[in-house]
Amino acid sequence: MNKLKFAFYWGASCGGCEIAVLDINEKILEVITLADIVFWPVAMDVKYKEVEAMADNSIDVCFFNGAVRTDEQEHMAKLLRKKAKTLVAFGSCACDGCVIGLGNLWDKETIFERAYIETPSTKNPNAVYPKTSITTKEGKLTLPRFYDTVKTLGQTVDVDYFLSGCPPPVPLILQAVEAISKNELPPKGSILMPSKSVCDECPREKKDKKLDKLKRIYELQDDQESCFWDQGVICMGPATRAGCEAQCPKVNMPCTGCDGPSPGVVDQGAAIISALASIATNDEVINQAVDPIGTFYKYSLANSILRRRVIKK
């Protein structure tokens, strides 16, 4: 049997998706028997130029995690698209932009200002910012160009499959690998996750909902049985795709929406906002929603209808 060729790459991400791959534990050995990993920057020293040298479509499956925020990531996304037969957007950043995508509330200038000048731990009296290239006596050094806007992988290149989650749940990763090995992948464009909402997997009991006061999680005496909404806490569950087996609600934390929009939903934040507004009994409830973008669009801003704050220079 010809061994498959897998590649893993990380764009703008925290590294958690890489850990998720390792979280399949001993099953990684099966992956290795199934496929050769030809490129995996986090674990293997394979240079970009070696990837460039590969024949087009020579990689069977590339799992791409992370969003696209620099020209390096964009280059790699395009390169891997060319080299891979199947490109999987792996994890919330690649699928929906995730927390990285919240950078779209600002632009490069404001982010640099914050990161390299304003933060209390930074001492930068000469106001030095990262440059894309600098000539030293050893030669020319370059850094990737930082974009104003974070894009998802799907906004950058054509993506074959999506597997969201922050990080993707291990059983779903295994299921995906199994499908690849048996050549049983669904039609292109599919999301390799259940067509349900988190609520469908959540054991909490749902009742009639009328909200007269919103609570933040630290204010809640959780009864551990009833729906968070019924206890006055915002839960992204109904608008979020299942697959995580409601891990968070099961351990008394409301869903924050990392699996991306549920099957019928396009804009996850808007769906929850209109639900909240519909069941709120007074205007105050809306004002009690602290950090609306961070609550409703935590994982999906870059891939929502909003996408970003408009830059007017």
Contact residues for another protein, defined by CB under 8 A? 106-107, 109-110, 152, 154-156, 158-159, 162, 175, 179, 184-187, 189-200, 206-210, 227, 229, 237-239, 262-267, 269-280, 283, 286, 303-307, 309-313
| Whether 128 contacts 116, CB under 8 Å | yes
Nearer to another protein, 126 or 278 (CB): 278
Q: In angstroms, what is the minimal distance from the CB of 51 to another protein?
A: 23
Nearer to another protein, 173 or 198 (CB): 198
Nearer to another protein, 42 or 286 (CB): 286
Nearer to another protein, 154 or 165 (CB): 154
Whole-angstrom distance, CA of residue 241 vs CA of residue 252: 19
Nearer to another protein, 58 or 201 (CB): 201
**66 DSSP 8-state letter:** S
Whole-angstrom distance, CA of residue 69 vs CA of residue 84: 21
Task: Report the first-to-last Cα separation within the chain, whole angstroms.
Answer: 58
Q: In angstroms, what is the minimal distance from the CB of 196 to another protein?
A: 7
Contacts of residue 208, Cβ cutoff 8 Å, sequence gap at least 6: none
Q: In angstroms, what is the minimal distance from the CB of 297 to another protein?
A: 9
**6 DSSP 8-state letter:** E
Q: In angstroms, what is the minimal distance from the CB of 300 to another protein?
A: 10
Nearer to another protein, 38 or 306 (CB): 306
96, HSE (Cβ side, Cα atoms, 13 Å): 31
Q: In angstroms, what is the minimal distance from the CB of 95 to another protein?
A: 9
Q: In angstroms, what is the minimal distance from the CB of 79 to another protein?
A: 17
The b-or-e profile of 72-109 (16+ CB within 10 A means b, else e) is bbbebbebbbbbbebbbbbbbbbbbbbbbbbbbebbbe
Whole-angstrom distance, CA of residue 95 vs CA of residue 191: 10
Q: In angstroms, what is the minimal distance from the CB of 277 to another protein?
A: 4
Q: For residue 63, give the nearest of 21, 98, 25 by alpha carbon.
A: 21
Nearer to another protein, 38 or 193 (CB): 193
Whole-angstrom distance, CA of residue 64 vs CA of residue 281: 44
Contacts of residue 270, Cβ cutoff 8 Å, sequence gap at least 6: 296, 304, 305
Q: In angstroms, what is the minimal distance from the CB of 260 to another protein?
A: 10
| Whether 19 contacts 167, CB under 8 Å | yes
Nearer to another protein, 54 or 276 (CB): 276
Whole-angstrom distance, CA of residue 113 vs CA of residue 102: 16
